[in-house]
Structure 1
Amino acid sequence: MFWRLMKPADLDAVHAIADRIHPDHPEDLDVLAERQRLFPPGCQVLECDGLLLGYAISHPWEFGRPPALNTKLERLPADPTTYYLHDVAIAADGRGSGRAAQAVDRLVGVAAAIGLHNVSLVAVNGSQGFWEKHGFVPTPLAGLATKLSSYGGGAVFMVREIGEPARRSRVGKADGI
């Protein structure tokens, strides 16, 4: 089982995984395809014996302005101020192997490589604890409540400064990722 860059040919499988894992937050295939096209290094898949078991989607963005779900970006900002982690999702048969932690480490590495100093995300579906284990901190921002409501109840905007060590613990099935 290993992470690799997502290819356009992977998008149908990625979409199927997304639909299974996030039934309350569906995203159109063309939205996922646009993210992969706009920033290929931030789009990765977890492969095992030729099957995809998970994916990660991320890209440079503007701090404090998480994109609305199921919305095309059209372009990336010329002067990004954060690395936005849109989603890390792993199917049930790929969980408990530490692969989600690997994805986070890989994406933080991408952010650092392009010169960004923080990674931000919106934690959904009770995943805040997972993200906290990986160095993300809840970060309330004025004016964000309406946008967060589109992510569902309990959505939390979180930030990890690059260079801060993550608090490591065993990542397993209980983490929901």
Structure 2
Amino acid sequence: MAPGDLPAVSRIAAAVHPGYPEEDAVLAERLALFPAGCWMLEGAGGLLGYAISHPWHRARPPALNTRLGALPENPGTHYVHDVALLPEARGQGAAGRLMPLLLEAARGLPELSLVAVGGSVPFWRRQGFQLVDDPALAAKLRSYDAEARFMARPAGPPGAAA
């Protein structure tokens, strides 16, 4: 992903996640802070999706539509901020091919984590993520929606022990 891709990221985000709006400045900040964790999916029809991720504090996902300010000096997780695929990109294994990129970006950290929304828990389970039940996260998860779930997985290959 490059800064010139941000208008497409905003369009894709609005189409895929209309219930989870984020300001363009939030997306631009994530790219500026950690470009090595941001990718675009391109297909015959143009840009079809994106992924944004970055190092972050363990078990402290950022609230929706919130700027980070800076990345932590001692991160405990690689946080998957967003994966968005237009309908024409789904069912072709694109999101599954993303995992090696996320694992590479997480190198040196013990885990990857995310907030699963929009019924995505089954997909993330197939990628090795497990639900994390932490009552301290309840209020933050509600900033997404009532169904949002915090998930994590070891930063090794599928099936790796924590």
- Normalised by the size of structure 1, how large is the TM-score? 0.87
CA distance in 1, matches of 2:132, 2:49: 27
Other structure's SS at 1:143 match: helix
Q: Post-superposition shift, 1:85?
A: 0.4
| Aligned residue number for residue 136 of structure 1 | 129
Matched, 1:15 2:4: no
RMSD, matched Cα: 1.1
Letter in 2 for 1:157: F
* Residue in structure 2 matched with residue 111 of structure 1 by the alignment: 106
What corresponds to 1:160 in structure 2? 153
For 2:35 and 2:44, the matched residues in 1 are separated by 22
Is 1:62 the equivalent of 2:53?
Answer: no
Displacement after TM superposition at 1:83 (Å):
0.3
How far apart, CA to CA, are the structure 1 residues paired with 2:64 and 2:53?
Answer: 13
Gaps of 5+ in 2: none
Say whether residues 1:80 and 2:75 are aligned partners: yes
2-side partners of 1:149 and 1:77: how far apart?
24
Name the aligned partner's letter for residue 91 of structure 1: L
Q: Is the 8 A contact 1:47 1:54 kept in 2?
A: yes
1:141 shift after superposition: 1.4
Aligned residue pairs, count? 159
1:151 to 144, 157, 162: 144
Alpha-carbon separation, structure 2, partners of 1:102 and 1:164: 13
**TM-score, normalization by structure 2:** 0.95
After superposing on structure 2, the runs of 4+ consecutive aligned residues of structure 1 that deviate more than 3 Å are none
For 1:66 and 1:59, how far apart are their aligned partners in 2? 11
Partner of 1:37: 32
Displacement of 1:120: 0.4
**Which ranges of structure 1 fall in alignment gaps of 5 or more residues?**
1-5, 167-177
1:124–1:151 contact (8 Å) kept in structure 2: yes
Structure 1 residue 124 and structure 2 residue 124: aligned?
no
Separation of aligned partners in 1, 2:100 and 2:84: 14
Measured after TM superposition, the shift of residue 104 of structure 1 is 2.3
